[in-house]
A and B are shown apart, each in its own frame.
Chain A
C-alpha cells in the first residue's frame, strides 16, 4: 500500500516551480508511473532533491489534493489518491478530445496567444527526462 515512489521531475527557469511540479506529478499519476496508494516523497525530501523552496512543493501537493490526485494522511504522509484519474477515463472523453483541444487553442487565441505560445508553455510545464 505504501511503496515509496520518487517521481522524476525536472525543473527549468522562467516558469512557476509549483506549477511545474503540479503538472509533472499529474502526468505521472495519469500515465500510471505513480499508482493509487503509492506514497510520495515528503515535502521536505522533494524540496531538497529538486533544490527548491519547500513552500513550492507544499503548495503543489495541496493543489493536487484539492484536484483529487493526491491525499494526505495526518502523520503518515502523502499518497496517490485511490480514485485518482488514470488512462481508463479516456474512453469517456476520447471522441471529443481533439475538439476540446481545438477549443482551448481558440480560447487562447482570443486572449492573444498563438498555438506556438501554448505549445512552448506546455513544454515548459512538463519538461522532463523522457524518451522523445
Chain B
C-alpha cells in the first residue's frame, strides 16, 4: 500500500499530486501491476480532500491506461501500465513540471533566473558527503 502525502504549498493541483504519487509508486515498484488502490473515499478521508479530486486523479489515470476500475470491486493498477519509460515522455513530463513551476514563480515576480539562482544556492549549501 502506498502512503499519500500532499505538499500544500507546492501550488501543484491536488489531483496532479495524487497522480504523480501513483505514477511514481508504479515506476519505482511500490505498486505492482494488478495491485488494488485504496478507495476514493479512503484517500479523500486520509488527505482531507474532496472525493471528487481523487475521482479526477483516478479517472485521468484510467484514461491513460495506468489504472483500471472494476465496477463494484475497486481500482487497480493496469496489467501493463504505460508508465513513462521512454526517455522522450520522461523529458516531456519534466518539461511540463518545470514550466508549471516557473509560471508559479513568475506570478510572484520571480524570473527563471531567480529560480536557477535559488536552486544553485540550495545545491551549494548541501554539504558534500
**Counting CB contacts under 8 A, is B42 at the interface?**
no
Q: B119 contacts A107, CB within 8 Å?
A: no
Q: How far apart are the CA atoms of A105 and B108 in the complex, in Å? A: 18
Interface of A is mostly: helix
Q: How far apart are the CA atoms of A119 and B117 in the complex, in Å? A: 10
Contacts of B93 in A (CB 8 A): 111
Q: How far apart are the CA atoms of A16 and B68 in the complex, in Å? A: 31
Q: B115 contacts A122, CB within 8 Å?
A: yes
Number of interface residues of A (CB under 8 A): 49
Q: How far apart are the CA atoms of A111 and B17 in the complex, in Å? A: 10
Stretch of B7-15, B57-65, B73-81 that contacts chain A:
B7-15
Q: How far apart are the CA atoms of A97 and B114 in the complex, in Å? A: 10
| In-complex Cβ contact of B9 among A14, A96, A117 (8 A) | A96
- State the Cβ distance, A74 to closest chain B Cβ, in Å: 25
Number of interface residues of B (CB under 8 A): 43
Q: B94 contacts A121, CB within 8 Å?
A: yes
- Using a CB-CB cutoff of 8 Å, which residues 84-103 of chain A contact chain B? 85-90, 92-93, 96-103
Q: How far apart are the CA atoms of A26 and B102 in the complex, in Å? A: 9
Contacts of A93 in B (CB 8 A): 108-110
- State the Cβ distance, A46 to closest chain B Cβ, in Å: 19
- State the Cβ distance, B30 to closest chain A Cβ, in Å: 11
Chain A's closest residue to B99 (CB) is A19
**Counting CB contacts under 8 A, is B1 at the interface?**
no
Given contacts A23-B102, A107-B20, A111-B93, A118 and B7 within 8 Å (CB-CB): no
Known A85-B106, A107-B10, A119-B119; further 12 A-B contacts with Cβ < 8 A = A16-B92, A23-B102, A26-B112, A67-B103, A85-B108, A100-B10, A103-B10, A104-B101, A110-B20, A111-B97, A115-B123, A122-B112
A-B contact pairs, 28 of them (CB 8 A): A15-B91, A23-B99, A26-B111, A27-B112, A67-B103, A68-B107, A85-B108, A87-B109, A89-B107, A89-B108, A90-B109, A93-B109, A97-B105, A101-B119, A104-B10, A107-B10, A110-B20, A110-B21, A111-B20, A111-B93, A113-B97, A115-B123, A118-B119, A119-B116, A121-B91, A122-B98, A122-B112, A122-B119
